[in-house]
Structure 1
C-alpha cells in the first residue's frame, strides 16, 4: 500500500494507520531527513527477521539503527553515556546523524551482536517523529538493499519495486540520496565512521 502523508502537516489519521501496521508486525518504507528507510517495530521479532531476509543479512550482524522521536529513549536502549557525549548528541540531533552507543539490556535479544552496540538516530523529519510518538517507542531502521540509486529518492518507484515485500510505503515527497553521518560514540573520543549528509569535524 502506498500512503501519501503531508511532510509539513502530517495527517494524524494516516500516521495512526501506519503506526498500527508497525504494531501488528508490518514493515514499512518511510521518509527521513536523508534517504528513505526500511523500518519495523523494534519489539516485533518476526518483522526484524523479515527485514534481515530482504537485506540478506544476519540480524546480529546487520547495521540496524533505532530511530527515535527525541533523546528521551536514550537511557532505555543505550548504556550510560558521558555528559560530553550527551551534550554533543543534543547539539546535533534532530539531524542527519547516527550515533553508535553501547547497547543496554533492553535492546531486543535478536539484535545483540558481538560488539553489543546500537545506532541511535533522531531524524529532522516530521512524519517520522510523529509516527514514533504514535507508536510509543523507536522504529528499527536500515537502508534499502543494494546501492543508493536515484530511484530510491522517489516513493512511487520504491513502491513499484518493493510492494510485494513491504506492507506500506509512506510517500512523504522526494527523498535524498546521501545517508546519515555515522559517529562511533562508544569510546572516550567520538570517531567518524561514515561521512554522510551531516557535517562533522573531529
Structure 2
C-alpha cells in the first residue's frame, strides 16, 4: 500500500482493506472490465453523497449499483425480476450490461437520481466481484473520474483525477473493454436501450427480440430533459482539455477533410486516427492510433486513454476520425460525439 495526497492505493491483493473502508461509509475506486468505478455503499445516503462531491457530479445523474450474485437483486427491486431480465442475465452476466428495473423500498433517492428505478449490473472482473463479496454490500459506482473528464481505464487516471478526494484506490492494471456498460431499461413495456456499450443492440435483439433505442443514443446532440434516465444521457462527458472535433462520413473523405483542416490552422494539433490511416497525416501533427477499423474492441479500449494522452501533450485541438456505428461502433461513436461536445463535421 502507498498513499498519495491522503488517498490509499492498494494492489490487487489488498481488496479486503478496500471492503473495510466501504463498510465504514468510505469511497473506494476499483477496476471493472469496462472502466474504473468509484464505489460507495449504495444503501448509505451519506456515503453516496460523497461520490457526487468527489467527482463534482450533478446529483440528478443516477448511479449504477454493482452486485456479485443474482440473489442480490430481489431486495433492491420492486416486485419480481421479469422473465426477460432472467434471459438477459443468463446470457450476459457477469458482464457489461446494466438493467434498469423498478426500485425497491429503502433505496436512497440519491443513489437513483430521484428516479423510481434502479440500475443494476454484475461486473465481469475478479477484483470488483471480490470487493463486493468481502464488503457484503451493493456498491453504487459511476466511473472514477472528475465529472466531464474521459473515463479512467488505468489506475493512474484515477490518481490524476481523484487522489485526495477519495479514501482508497485498488490498482488492478488496465481495464479490458474500456467503455462503460450497455444500459437497458426493463421498466417499460418494450425494453429501451439508454446507453450503448459492450453488449450490442444486435446481441440484445438476438436474445429478447424487440428493443427500442432512445434517440439520444444515435442523436447528434445531448438529451434535452429534466431527468437523466441513465448515466451518460445528460451533461458533459468524456471531454479532453483541448477542443475536439469529430469528422464523420466515408473513410477517404474523412481523412481528406482532416488534412484540409490541419492545413487551415496554426498551433499544436492532435489526430485520433485508425491504424490504417495513421501514415496519411503530415509531419508535425501528433497522430495516435485508436486501433484497427476492423477490430472495434481494440478501438473501444483505447479512446479514453488516448484522449488523456492528448491532455498530457497540451495540444490545442484534436481531430477524430469517425467510424461505422454498427455493432460496437454504436457505443464508440456515442462516446466520441459526447467527448467533442457534439462538434461534428459530416463529409
Aligned residue in 2 for 1:127: 127
Residue 24 (str. 1) matches residue 24 (str. 2):
yes
Counterpart selection for 1:147 from 144, 149, 154: 149
Which runs of 4 or more aligned residues in structure 1 lie more than 4 Å from their structure 2 counterparts after TM superposition?
A: none
- In the alignment, which residue of structure 1 is the partner of 2:303? none
The answer for the alignment partner of 2:50 in structure 1 is 50
1:101–1:153 CA distance, 2 compared to 1 (3 A) = same
Equivalents in 1 of 2:198, 2:165: separation in Å?
Answer: 28
Can you give the 5+ residue segments of structure 2 that lack an aligned partner in the other structure? 1-7, 206-347
- C-alpha distance in 2, partners of 1:112/1:32? 20
1:181 maps to which residue? Answer: 182
Q: In the alignment, what sits opposite 2:325?
A: none
Contact 1:16 1:134 in 2 (8 A): yes
CA distance in 2, matches of 1:35, 1:41: 19
Cα gap change, 1:159/1:191 in structure 2, threshold over 3 Å: closer, same or farther? same
> Alignment partner of 1:118: what SS?
strand
Aligned positions of 1:92-131 closer than 5 A: 92-111=92-111, 113-131=113-131
Quote how far apart the aligned CAs of 1:31 are. 0.4
SS across alignment from 1:111 = coil
What is the root-mean-square deviation in Å for CA atoms of aligned residues? 1.8
The C-alpha deviation readout for 1:57-96, integer Å capped at 9, x for no partner, is: 454x222011000211111101223222222222211101
In the alignment, what sits opposite 2:9?
2
Q: Which has the higher contact order (CA 8 A, sep 6+)?
A: 1
Displacement of 1:109:
4.5
Shift of 1:168: 0.7
Counterparts of 2:113 and 2:163, CA distance in 1: 30
Q: 1:115 to 1:43 in 2, by over 3 A?
A: closer
Classify 1:45/1:115 alpha carbon distance in 2 versus 1 (closer, same or farther; 3 Å): closer
Task: Note if contact 1:70-1:94 (Cα within 8 Å) is conserved in structure 2.
Answer: no
The alpha-carbon distance between structure 1 residues 113 and 134, as it changes in their structure 2 partners (threshold 3 A), is same
Gaps of at least 5 residues in structure 1 are: 6-10
Shift of 1:141: 0.8
Matched residue count? 192
Query: In the aligned structure 1, how far is the partner of 2:43 from the partner of 2:115?
Result: 20
| Structure 2 CA distance for aligned equivalents of residues 137 and 125 of structure 1 | 16
Question: Considering only CA atoms, is the larger Rg found in Structure 1 or Structure 2?
Answer: 2
**TM-fit CA distance, 1:166:** 0.7
Q: TM-score, normalised by structure 2?
A: 0.52
Task: Indicate the residue corresponding to 1:79 in structure 2.
Answer: 78
